[in-house]
Amino acid sequence: GQQVMQIPQYQHVQEGEDFTTYCNSSTTLSNIQWYKQRPGGHPVFLIQLVKSGEVKKQKRLTFQFGEAKKNSSLHLTATQTTDVGTYFCLHSSNTGKLIFGQGTTLQVKP
Amino acid sequence: DGGITQSPKYLFRKEGQNVTLSCEQNLNHDAMYWYRQDPGQGLRLIYYSQIVNDFQKGDIAEGYSVSREKKESFPLTVTSAQKNPTAFYLCASSIAGQLANQPQHFGDGTRLSIL
């Protein structure tokens, strides 16, 4: 069945360093969404990517969708302590099945 | 303000007891979802509803039941058949069903524990 693998599971960085998380699928994705969940909080929608090779930016965040639409990445530059939390990808299959990635938990050392 | 309200924030269940988690939204969204999140893990879909009076099982529906009698409300019952109910439960909604690929808006969640 369709699976989404998100890596790494954990990332510890020094404040000011960059951070990247990846979602990789075994099949072509119709779209992909990214969410952030602060510790003790709920997921908050960040962005949706739909087109092959799409790149979108939000302040220090850059989101990419692969040319083959099988992988996506979230890149965060110059991390701050307020960036801590878990970043998830979510996609829906061609049949409408919703699949969340396992999440990457970011820790930032001041 | 529009949003999703989940209650209670914390809930304790005795063995063999059914409990119902409330989820209300005033966003006028058609679709609503229930997820379960275990510590350090991602979200798993329990049930979803794309329209009033209709709902479908997600990946882990066993031991749970739902109803969608009103557009605004999508309560989740954790039955005694759910042997490991301790988890963080998140309700979400979106403008249209999942096939429309709309962003999901989440409530603050309910933490359920076994006494």
Q: CB-based contact (8 Å) between A93 and chain B?
A: no
B88-97 pLDDT, tens per residue? 999 999 997 6
Going by the DSSP 8-state scheme, the letter that residue A51 receives in this structure is S
CB contact under 8 A, A45 and B103: yes
Chain B 68-97, residues with CB within 8 Å of chain A CB atoms: 90, 92, 97
Other beta carbons within 10 Å of A101: 26
Looking at this protein, which amino acid is placed at residue B113? Answer: S
Q: What is the mean pLDDT of residues B40-50?
A: 90
Tokens 């069945």 locate to A1
CB atoms closer than 10 angstroms to residue A58? 11
Give the chain A residue nearest B4 (alpha carbons): A42
A68-99, pLDDT tens digit by residue? 999 999 999 999 999 999 999 998 766 667 88
> Residue B102 carries which DSSP code?
P
Q: How confident is the model at residue B53 (pLDDT cuts 50, 70, 90)?
A: very high
Q: Phi and psi dihedrals of A81, rounded to 5?
A: -65, -25
Q: Which of B44, B97, B101 shows the shortest C-beta gap to A30?
A: B101
Q: Region A4-9: what's the mean pLDDT? A: 92
pLDDT at A27: 86
Most A CBs within 10 A among B29, B98, B102, B110, hence the mutation to make, goes to B98
> Which residues lie below 8 Å from residue B89, measured CB to CB, with a gap of 6+?
B6, B21, B34, B35, B36, B37, B46, B76, B78, B109, B110, B111, B112
User: Residue B75: which pLDDT band, with cuts at 50, 70 and 90?
Assistant: very high
Q: In A15-98, which residue ranges form alpha helices assigned H by DSSP?
A: none
pLDDT at residue B57, rounded to an integer:
94
CB A100 within 8 A of CB A92: no
Residue position matching structure tokens 């979510």: A90
Least confident of A12-16, B4-8, B50-54, B79-83: B79-83
- Give CA–CA dist B85/A80, Å, rounded: 35
